[in-house]
Amino acid sequence: MGRLFGTDGVRGVANKELTASLAFDIGKAAAFVLGKGSGRPLFVIGRDTRVSGDMLENALTAGVLSVGGNVLKLGVIPTPAVAYLVKHYNADAGVVISASHNSFEYNGIKLFNGDGFKLDDSIEEQIEDIILAREFVHPEFVGDKLGKCLEAGDDALDVYTKFLLSTIDIRLDGVKVVLDTANGASYRTAGIVYKALGADVHMIADDPDGININDHCGSTHPEDLMKEVVRQKADIGMAYDGDADRLVIVDDKGRLLDGDRIMCICGKMLKDKGELPDGLVTATVMSNIGFHKYLEDNDMKSEVTKVGDRYVLESMLKTGSVLGGEQSGHMIFLNYTTTGDGVLSSLQFVNAWQASGKKVSELRDEITIYPQALVNARVRTDSKSAAMEDEEVMAKVRETEEKLGDTGRVLIRPSGTEPLVRVMIEGEDEDVIHGYAQDIADIILGKFGEEN
């Protein structure tokens, strides 16, 4: 068995790669490590709507209880709610059982520490080492040393929605909103929040059955939402993913706003309020050149990280940035929360929109997003690094950058999971930049392709 934890926890096909046995082992090892071998750590556990959630939740719970840990089950609730509630209940760890935007047959296990941040790599490694050694030596946890499932003194969903509402101080009476909850973890949360604000709420993809999570809906498939906003003549549409840590917006004309546009608009709001330290917004290398130009034109600046919310958060904690995120819609508002929160992000966007006095479509059109061409070059597994450093490839990149000038950019990066080198180019003319990307990819394929 290889290493278990990726950049976003343990993930795989439920009952095939992520089995009940593995979930039990993760719960047991995590409780042992976080309880320092003899304590009684408290774990709060939340999950999304996948059919495999019950199986994995109960298996993981059994593992925690078997080494003396206690468990508080939160039920179906967004990932960011667990990050918030772990502090509310003064727990030692939070666990989310979800595979985010993936289809229903996948599931995952993600761990937060007692402060609501993802576990340090060193602690994940300790947990992995116990599981992979398959020689779990521990004191006898019998009798009164076993853990218990506890009852919360309050309703977890109510606590979380009240927190969300505390981040916004306006009413939405007369505002028509369409919400797409991806048949996932926010299917109750989002509606509760926006109805409490007085909005006229129309819901879609809010009837989970265990297998329809992310199925042609949510932030990765907003097409139905775009049509519904137009059909309902709504002011705005919002789509979350299966575990509700991502957000995309649809304007009153049925057009999409991705994470780049949302961060631009929210960043300007925070800057105007004096709440954006040094005018800094944190993004990844995939953010569009139009994002960076908008920041520059509005006296803001960006810090750029590798792709992945883990790297975004690490950078934010180092630089003092309070807003960061990805093109995909995973955004962190660090003044309020420790992880991406789709519903909270949508509330901050609504704050910015309402303060502007403009339509969402007008705000969208203030930001020019440049066309993007992406060509994947399939290479030999051991050649990704060599392809990235090859002088002929780099010479072609420099030549292309000279042609683009300040109206575009070239980005080449290896896939973290596949034998691919991704060539991405942004510029003003979609056909032209696609040709440029193909030219670079052809050189990579000619020298490092699988058949060469």
User: Angle at which helices 259-272 and 342-356 pack, to 10 degrees?
Assistant: 60
Helix (H) or strand (E) holding 200: strand 200-204
Question: From residue 153, how far is each of 42, 46, 171, 253 by CA, in Å?
Answer: 15, 16, 30, 45
Which amino acid makes up residue 237? G
Is residue 27 within 8 A of residue 64, CB to CB? The reply is: yes
Q: E strands along 22-105, which residues? A: 42-47, 70-76, 93-97
Residue of 358, 370, 232 whose CA lies nearest to 291: 370
Helix (H, G, I), strand (E, B) or coil at 14: strand
Contacts of 80 (CB under 8 A, 6+ apart): 244, 245, 337, 339, 340, 341, 342, 343, 344
Is residue 147 within 8 A of residue 68, CB to CB? The reply is: yes
CA distance 63 to 251: 46
Please identify which of the residues 52, 98, 100, 346 carries the catalytic annotation: 100
CA distance 199 to 387: 53
Question: From residue 67, how far is each of 2, 62, 108, 110 by CA, in Å?
Answer: 25, 9, 22, 19
CA distance 417 to 67: 34
Active site residue 100: yes
Is residue 411 within 8 A of residue 432, CB to CB? The reply is: no
User: Angle at which helices 53-66 and 20-34 pack, to 10 degrees?
Assistant: 40
Q: If you compute the radius of gyration of the chain from its CA atoms, what whole number of angstroms results?
A: 23
The DSSP line for 331-400 is: EEETTT-SS--HHHHHHHHHHHHHHHTS-HHHHHHTSPPPPEEEEEEEB-GGGHHHHHH-HHHHHHHHHH
Helix (H, G, I), strand (E, B) or coil at 65: helix
Q: Please identify every residue annotated as catalytic.
A: 100
